[in-house]
Amino acid sequence: MNALLNQEVEMEELFEYQENDDSDQEFSEKAMQDEEDKVDSDFDLDSSEGEQEHVEEGKVLDKEIEKQEKKSRKTVIPNTTPRKPIERRKRKKEIETAENEDRVVRQSFRRNTMLNRILLEGQIKEDEKKKAAQPKRERTVSYELSQEELIAEAMITEEKNMSSLLEWQQKEEERQANAKVKEKRELEGPYIRYHSYTERSQEDTSGDEDPEVTEPMGRNLITFVESDDKQDLEDLEDLELTGLVNSLASWLDKQPKPNKPIMCPITGDVATYKDPHTGVHYSSTNAYKTIQSCLRNQVNWSSSLDLYLGDLPSASGVPEGWNS
């Protein structure tokens, strides 16, 4: 691979050398033409002295020129040809083209920058004119207060805070007092009022032997209020004083009866005691003894009547052991 690469490099160098050689040949041919022109002019000037001498001299010169050309063509091709002058020429051309392009671009950028600068300067001038037209603000001169001045200022603020606090407390008290007061609003014109309540239970003090027991009862009242009627039916205790419907007035006059007392099953009197074992109420000691004898099976039991017979004697003709 290295050998192939070296061959390619040598071929490229040969081509470059041939190009340089062609340019040198063109330069030498131009030089020869110039010299021939000079010689011809010399011949023309000295033609009168002797044409033969000039012809011979021209032949000699021609031979010398041919020899020089042969020498220049027989130059040995070196292994490494110098590339620096060729590269310099190419680089110079590239640098010149790049500089020309930069000049064009820089000129265009300079024009844009000049326009931008002109616009900015105009805006700055307008802003300065506006600022100059506006009135100048007076700067407040701030200075540090002394200790005595600070204390005096604190006292003034404390008095203001105390006065505002007192005003707030007074307003709050007035607001609370007004909230407690209920405004009574009266309806204008005739209207119908519905009122529902429950009657309270009361004891009967008339002295009846068998008082009736009644439970609390609910009542629903309908009142037709006229424009001139200013009666208030909100309180239940004041219902007796109101002008109710005649058919409903008896409900308020009727008093509920007390509960029925518990009677003793043995004596028939009002029971004042209660046996803790059986839960039976009794009125005297004899009744208690009777209850205990029933528990001990000392009292006759009637299956047909479902009750105890007590101390009653048995019927005649009862077999022995009946009473045991």
Q: What is the pLDDT of residues 5-40, one digit of tens each?
A: 566 556 666 555 555 555 555 555 555 555 555 545
Say if residue 207's pLDDT is above 90.
no
Say if residue 256's pLDDT is above 70.
no
Helix 51-73 / helix 2-45 crossing angle, nearest 10 deg: 170
Task: Give the pLDDT confidence score for residue 139 in this predicted structure.
Answer: 77
What average pLDDT does this structure show over 185-191?
A: 72
Residues 239 and 291 in one domain: no
**Could you tell me the pLDDT band of residue 197, with boundaries at 50, 70 and 90?**
confident
Residues 246 and 299 in one domain: no
**Are the CB atoms for 222 and 194 separated by under 8 Å?**
yes
Question: Is 28 within the bounds of a domain?
Answer: yes
What average pLDDT does this structure show over 201-221?
A: 64
- This prediction's pTM: 0.22
Question: Is 157 within the bounds of a domain?
Answer: no
Long-range contacts of 93-99 (CB under 8 A, 24+ apart): none
Q: Output the CA torsion sign for 179, 182, 187, 188.
A: negative
Task: Give the pLDDT confidence score for residue 277 in this predicted structure.
Answer: 84
Question: Is 79 within the bounds of a domain?
Answer: no
Total structural domains in the chain?
A: 3
Q: Output the CA torsion sign for 281, 282, 287, 288.
A: positive
Residues 234 and 278 in one domain: no
What average pLDDT does this structure show over 274-279?
A: 86
Task: Give the pLDDT confidence score for residue 208 in this predicted structure.
Answer: 56
Counting residues of the chain whose pLDDT is more than 70, the rounded percentage is 49
Task: Give the pLDDT confidence score for residue 242 in this predicted structure.
Answer: 46
Say if residue 173's pLDDT is above 50.
yes
Question: Is 229 within the bounds of a domain?
Answer: yes
Question: Is 63 within the bounds of a domain?
Answer: no
Q: What are the tens digits of pLDDT across the range 69-113? A: 777 665 545 555 555 555 555 555 555 565 555 555 454 557 788
Q: What are the tens digits of pLDDT across the range 278-321? A: 888 888 888 888 888 888 877 777 777 777 766 666 666 666 65
Task: Give the pLDDT confidence score for residue 96 in this predicted structure.
Answer: 58
Helix, strand, coil in percent for the chain, rounding step 5: 55, 10, 35
Say if residue 155's pLDDT is above 90.
yes
Domain end position, chosen among 253, 281, 299 = 253
Say if residue 51's pLDDT is above 70.
no
Question: Is 239 within the bounds of a domain?
Answer: yes
Instruction: State which of 186-190, 203-207, 225-229 shows the largest mean pLDDT.
Output: 186-190
Task: Give the pLDDT confidence score for residue 236 in this predicted structure.
Answer: 46
Mean pLDDT estimate for the chain:
70
Task: Give the pLDDT confidence score for residue 278 in this predicted structure.
Answer: 85
Q: Provide the 10 A C-beta neighbour count for residue 275.
A: 14
Task: Give the pLDDT confidence score for residue 161 in this predicted structure.
Answer: 95
**Are the CB atoms for 287 and 268 separated by under 8 Å?**
no
- Looking only at Cα atoms, what is the longest distance across the chain? 222
The domain containing residue 285 runs over which residues? Answer: 273-310
Question: Is 204 within the bounds of a domain?
Answer: yes
Question: Is 152 within the bounds of a domain?
Answer: no
Task: Give the pLDDT confidence score for residue 68 in this predicted structure.
Answer: 76
Contacts of 323 (CB under 8 A, 6+ apart): 300, 314
Residues 203 and 242 in one domain: yes
In this structure, what is the dihedral angle of CA atoms 95, 96, 102, 105, given to the nearest 10 degrees? -140
Residues 249 and 197 in one domain: yes
